[in-house]
Homo-oligomer: A and B are copies of this chain.
Amino acid sequence: MGTLESGATLESVAAAAGVSRQTVSNVLNAPERVAPQTRQRVQEAIESLRYRPNRSARSLRTRTSRLLGYCVQPAPEGAINPVLDRFVHALTESAADHGFHVLLFTAPPGAAGLDRYAELLAQRAVDGFVLSDTVVADPRPVWLTEQGVPFVAFGRSWSGPDHGRWVDVDGAAGIVEAVEHVHALGHRRVAFIGWPEGSGVGDDRLAGYLAACSRLGLTPLVERDEGGVEQGRAIAGALLDDPEPPTALVCVSDLSAYGALRAVAERGLRPGADVAVVGFDDTPAARLPGVELTSVSQPIEEVGRDAVHMLLGALGVVEPPPGPADHRLLRPTLVVRASTAISPEG
């Protein structure tokens, strides 16, 4: 056996330091109540016995678990989701700064999945939830609010009033930046390839496009599709085959943009030189040589950090950060690559 003499309890530490249970507990949870001299003695005992408070015992007594629940959704088929990884990592790291951990679970989408949330609550397994992949009319924020459960969502509730706290990325602002970027390069016929109406995220990005066009005096040209690579390719192809085709294609997602890049190449045109293409999400493939897609990049790490801070603030664990307590909207940044490198001729 190793060095892990897992047996130290409050009581054994107290005995070693010649004090009582509660004094040891106070050294850990309210050091200012303990006389400096005693404190030191206790800390040495803790150190030498390698004592760590038993999480279950603490949880039982305090009725808090110091765990944050996060539901991992099955990755959508064929989708490139670079987000989950980084987001989960950011959550975990920020939580660790305050003695919290992330507990993963799965649940079917929609109202059917609420049972899993309820179960974890009934078991007192988590103190709150982090939601992601929120959709229009997502039942979770409403339900959690009703139940009085602390939570924070990555993504606004696009339908109806806000429920609870959220952090989100300002997609409209990201697209505005994209349009301004190609406009500055000299592009004047800038098309937008979007998602069908009704997806909050897609509508937000479209709104950014329309706002930018209006501000810059461009004529909006919007096409919509389901968002896959093949759909993007078809839509972009149709646009490019127009007698007066757009010279820049701003896409609602990288997936559409990859399709658009393909459509451009298939017509003997050079992305970046002849036609500018911009995506959204800065997926890993965007930086591959031969792709080099300019894309709007979401500050995922920051989203994760803010989400945890807001949630811990709601739990009363940390001082809530300055600013509005119930939401936070972060600016994405445009990562410029070869797909928008050169100004168009004419």
| Chain A positions near chain B (C-beta within 8 angstroms) | 1-4, 6, 8, 50-57, 59-60, 65, 67, 72-75, 78-81, 84-86, 88-89, 91-93, 96, 101-106, 118-119, 121-125, 143, 146-149, 229-230, 233, 258-259, 261-262, 265, 283-285, 287-291
Contact = CB atoms under 8 A, between A and B. Distances in A.
A55 B81 CA distance: 33
15 contacts: A1-B147, A2-B143, A2-B147, A50-B122, A54-B123, A55-B125, A56-B65, A73-B89, A74-B89, A84-B85, A101-B125, A102-B103, A103-B103, A259-B289, A285-B288
Nearest to A266: B290
Contacts of A93: 106
B122 A106 contact: no
Contact of A56 (B1, B59, B106, B143): B59
B86 A6 contact: no
A104 B91 CA distance: 9
A74 B284 CA distance: 15
B89 A289 contact: no
Nearest to A88: B72
Contact of A85 (B67, B85, B233): B85
A262 B290 contact: yes
A277 to B, nearest CB: 13
A63 B346 CA distance: 74
A146 B2 CA distance: 5
B92 A289 contact: no
Nearest to A101: B103
B72 A103 contact: no
A96 B88 contact: no
Contacts of A118: 4
A78 B148 contact: no
Contacts of A52: 119, 122-123
Given A2-B146, A4-B118, A289-B233, A56 B124 contact: yes
Contacts of A65: 55-56
A142 to B, nearest CB: 10
Contacts of A67: 103
B290 A265 contact: yes
A230 B289 contact: yes
Contacts of A284: 78-80, 283-285
A54 B285 contact: no
Contacts of A143: 2
Closest 4 CB pairs of A and B: A285-B285, A56-B59, A52-B122, A2-B147
Most buried by B among A53, A57, A75, A288: A288
Contacts of A91: 104
A124 B289 contact: no
A8 to B, nearest CB: 8
Given A54-B124, A124-B55, A289-B229, A1 B101 contact: no
Most buried by B among A51, A53, A104, A105: A104
